[in-house]
């Protein structure tokens, strides 16, 4: 998995609010890395797939919801790596464009109850799963393991980001944000925008992993909860695409961008601040809008 050096990875955001408050806002376009292995999933899967191949696994197993960006990316990545893929889907059996892509790319789908899905990280559940799929390498939901984190540490170094003051990133499992916060320079800070309601619990996940205090979470821009949307958010996505020619995904990046603009209006950034917002991909999920 190699990044095409011809891709222009930084997009400048132009908006009257930025001029008024003296803020530079750019976006790191991870959504442009690959049409299927989208955004941060490229980094989360990179070393997991490398490990699976080096240790002669023939199959990848992982978990996600019916519109999972992770399973969508893993299905395609597994296909090009020559690995069988199996996805365990939370909830009742459904069919949608995400899952149709997954099956078209060779993924075997298993739908499990929401109660059973809660056990996806329990040792007993994982041992049973390993017995069912003895040749499989099991990747946690969202690619949230040490190898996924290793990949996420590389995000800020794929292009020159040394002149930015603040990095902004949407937060789900927090793996991407931890990798980002671990790899920023001493003069830089990081802000995470949680995609779920009551996301402050993730402070307990991030704090032990990041050995500095130049980061914090914003938890008020979830638009009702994980995977939830409202008319304000949908309108923001449409207007942003019209004004900036950049599509935002409805689950993560759009919520982050609404938060950034709101914080700017609240004078939370000093004039002259250079902000880099991370576009973590996931645009396939917009088919649910």
> pLDDT digits over 205-226, tens only?
999 999 999 999 999 999 988 8
- Region 18-36: what's the mean pLDDT? 96
Q: Tell me the per-residue pLDDT of 37-89, one tens digit each, with 9 for 90 and over.
A: 979 999 999 999 999 999 999 999 999 999 999 999 999 999 999 999 999 99
Highest mean pLDDT, choosing among 16-30, 34-48, 227-241: 16-30
- Region 170-179: what's the mean pLDDT? 96
Structure tokens at 63: 């978990």
Q: Tell me the per-residue pLDDT of 242-256, one tens digit each, with 9 for 90 and over.
A: 999 999 999 999 999
Look at strands 274-279 and 107-112 and give their pairing: unpaired
Residue in this structure with the two tokens 């004004």, named with its chain if needed? 243
Distance between CA 242 and CA 270 in Å, rounded?
A: 28
Q: Estimate the share of the chain in helix, then strand, then coil, as percent rounded to the nearest 5.
A: 40, 20, 40
Compute φ and ψ for 63, nearest 5 degrees: -135, 155
Average per-residue pLDDT in the chain? 95
- Region 25-43: what's the mean pLDDT? 94
What's the sign of the alpha-carbon dihedral 214, 3, 29, 41?
A: negative
Nearest to 174 by CA among 197, 155, 195: 195
Structure tokens at 277: 């917002």
Nearest to 15 by CA among 279, 282, 285, 265: 265
pLDDT at 2 (0 to 100) = 65
- By percentage, how much of the chain surpasses pLDDT 90? 93
pLDDT at 7 (0 to 100) = 85
For the domain spanning 10-36+147-288, the CATH number is: 3.40.50.1100
Q: Over 80: is that where the pLDDT of 289 sits?
A: no
88 and 66 Cβ atoms separated by less than 8 Å = no
141 and 62 Cβ atoms separated by less than 8 Å = yes
* E strand or H helix at 178: helix 175-183
Q: Would the CATH topology of 10-36+147-288 be identical to that of 40-145?
A: yes
Query: Does the domain made of 40-145 have the CATH classification 3.30.70.2740?
Result: no
284 and 72 Cβ atoms separated by less than 8 Å = yes
Q: Over 70: is that where the pLDDT of 1 sits?
A: no
Q: What does the angle CA 49 – CA 54 – CA 56 come to, to the nearest 5 degrees?
A: 95
pLDDT at 84 (0 to 100) = 98
CA 257, distance to chain mean position in Å, is: 14
For the chain, domain boundaries = 10-36+147-288, 40-145
């Amino acid at each position: 998995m190699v990044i095409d050096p011809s891709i222009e990875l930084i997009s400048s955001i132009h908006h009257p609010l930025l001029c008024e408050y003296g803020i530079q806002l750019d976006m790191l376009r991870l959504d442009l890395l690959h049409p299927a292995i989208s955004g941060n999933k490229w980094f989360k899967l990179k070393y997991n797939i490398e490990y699976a191949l080096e240790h002669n696994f023939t199959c990848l197993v992982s978990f996600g919801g019916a519109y999972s960006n992770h399973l969508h990316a893993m299905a395609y990545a597994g296909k090009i790596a020559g690995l069988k893929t199996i996805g365990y889907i939370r909830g009742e059996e459904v069919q949608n464009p995400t899952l149709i892509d997954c099956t078209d790319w060779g993924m075997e789908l298993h739908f499990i109850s929401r109660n059973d899905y809660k056990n996806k990280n329990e040792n007993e559940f994982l041992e049973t799963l390993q017995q069912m799929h003895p040749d499989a390498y099991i990747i946690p939901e969202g690619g949230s393991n040490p190898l996924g984190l290793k990949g996420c540490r590389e995000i800020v170094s794929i292009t020159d980001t040394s002149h930015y003051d603040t990095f902004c990133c949407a937060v789900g499992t927090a793996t991407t944000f931890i990798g980002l916060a671990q790899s920023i320079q001493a003069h830089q800070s990081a802000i995470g925008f949680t995609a779920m309601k009551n996301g402050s619990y993730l402070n307990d996940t991030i704090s032990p992993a990041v050995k500095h205090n130049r980061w914090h979470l914003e938890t008020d821009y979830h638009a009702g909860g994980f995977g939830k949307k409202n008319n304000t958010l949908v309108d923001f996505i449409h207007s942003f695409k019209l004004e900036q020619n950049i599509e935002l995904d409805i689950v993560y990046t759009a919520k982050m961008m609404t938060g950034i603009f709101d914080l700017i209006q609240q004078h939370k950034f000093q004039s002259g601040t250079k902000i880099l917002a991370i576009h973590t991909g996931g645009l396939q999920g917009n088919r649910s809008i």
